[in-house]
Amino acid sequence: MRRATPIARPDAGSRSRKKSFAALSLTVGIAVTASVLAPVVSASAASSTATSAGVIRATAVVNSYRKPPVWKGPSATVSLKGLAGKRVVYINVSSGIPVLKYWSDHVTALALKYGGVKVEVVDAKGSVDEANKGFAMAIATKADAVLLQAFPASLFQKQIADAHAAGIKVITGNTGVPGDVSGGQDAEVSFDYAQVGRIQADWFVMDSKGKGKGLVVSSNDVPASPTQANAIVAEAKKNCPTCNLITKDVQIPQWQTSIPTLFQSTINTDPTRTYLLPIYDGQSLPGLGAIRAAGAGSKVSVGTFNATPGIVESLNDPKSGLKLDIGGNNEWWAYAGTDTIFRVLSGTAPIKNYNIGLRVFDTSNSNLIKGTDDGPWYGYTGFRGRFTALWKK
């Protein structure tokens, strides 16, 4: 009879090692299962989520600026005593640009009506040399102040110093940042061009539903343009990481000839870049004609700034391609410019930021654009009485 072979029993260490291995296997299995079952958030999904949130933010901004602006201006009064008979030389970068002529015409009328101050306009026609002649004339004729409109103060350091040496105050207009006197001037009166740019970008993001491709057209010879253009790009990037913007610089002397060519070439060679975002509507005007001629009004969307009477009405013309014209109340600026003249001439501290009212005009509210007086378009004309109440005789 064969003897039974004893069954070998595992020692304690072997049992422990097997338990450890089983535990390790279970842990790994759970981890692998969890990694398989867990949702994977791709970069594109995260970008899409960010864009959706950005579209919501952008829409809220645009809707808020469709409403009438409210007064956030100064409360400090200024005495007009002794101002009658004083002279201001107003050097305009180009009176051929509709909004610039509008401002100079209105400042001229307001300053004379309320303060007896005579304003003499010099049309520099986009030329620094012509602007220098304006400074020379102001000094030679012993003017009391110079208002330099839409030129960079940095180009006129000597002229500003010469004017100060002759006892002449220097005001700059619309250099981009309200109240910025870093160029040595005595006062700066400006729209908030960075905010304008942000509104432009938010409309682009909203209207394209976060899928837009656009062309920003700056005019870097105008000091406010880089401020506005940079704000457009930054705001669009913040609210729409998937959107695509490129920037071109077309300066004032080339507006009439280069803007139509730029619009046409974009339409023909880059047809998916359907948003054209010129800084100013005066800049966009030649391009609107090119869009009409090409029959491309339904293919592109033009969004710009100034809401200049005579241009903004194109919102009601689908063939023009104009879909947005943000209005900085031009009459409001003229009152602010006049108020600055009065303060500088009287030795009163200038106002840093007038918070001039802005309003979005687009195809949803273009019915507001009626007549040649743009004041009622904004739904608020109370700034007129607010300013005149500050001007004490």
Q: What is the pLDDT of residues 184-206, one digit of tens each?
A: 999 999 999 999 999 999 999 99
**Confidence (pLDDT) at 28:** 38
Of 194, 235, 238, 240, which is closest to residue 213 (Cα–Cα)? Answer: 240
Q: What is the rounded average pLDDT of the residues 282-286?
A: 96
Q: What is the rounded average pLDDT of the residues 280-304?
A: 97
Q: What is the pLDDT of residues 104-141, one digit of tens each?
A: 999 999 999 999 999 999 999 999 999 999 999 999 99
Q: What is the rounded average pLDDT of the residues 327-350?
A: 97
Mean pLDDT of the chain: 90
Contact indicator for 168, 146 with CB cutoff of 8 Å = yes
3-state SS, residue 217: strand
Q: What is the pLDDT of residues 353-362, one digit of tens each?
A: 999 999 999 9
pLDDT higher than 50, residue 241:
yes
Of 75, 78, 74, 77, which is closest to residue 345 (Cα–Cα)? Answer: 78
**Confidence (pLDDT) at 162:** 98
pLDDT higher than 80, residue 371:
yes
d(CA 68, CA 52): 27
Q: For residue 231, how far is the Cα from the chain centroid?
A: 6
Contact indicator for 141, 168 with CB cutoff of 8 Å = no
238 phi, psi to nearest 5 deg? -65, -45
* Position 170, amino acid: V
Half-sphere exposure of 186 (CA within 13 A, CB side): 25
Q: What is the pLDDT of residues 255-280, one digit of tens each?
A: 999 999 999 999 999 999 999 999 99
**Confidence (pLDDT) at 336:** 98
Residues whose CB is less than 8 angstroms from the CB of residue 332 and which lie 6 or more positions away in sequence, other chains included: 354, 356, 357, 378, 383
Higher pLDDT, 279 or 42: 279
385 phi, psi to nearest 5 deg? -65, -35
Strand partners, 328: 358
Which domains are delineated in the chain?
A: 78-190+330-356+380-392 (3.40.50.2300), 193-328 (3.40.50.2300)
**Confidence (pLDDT) at 43:** 54
305 phi, psi to nearest 5 deg? -140, 150
Q: What is the rounded average pLDDT of the residues 53-73?
A: 97
Higher pLDDT, 20 or 185: 185
In total, the chain counts a number of residues equal to 393
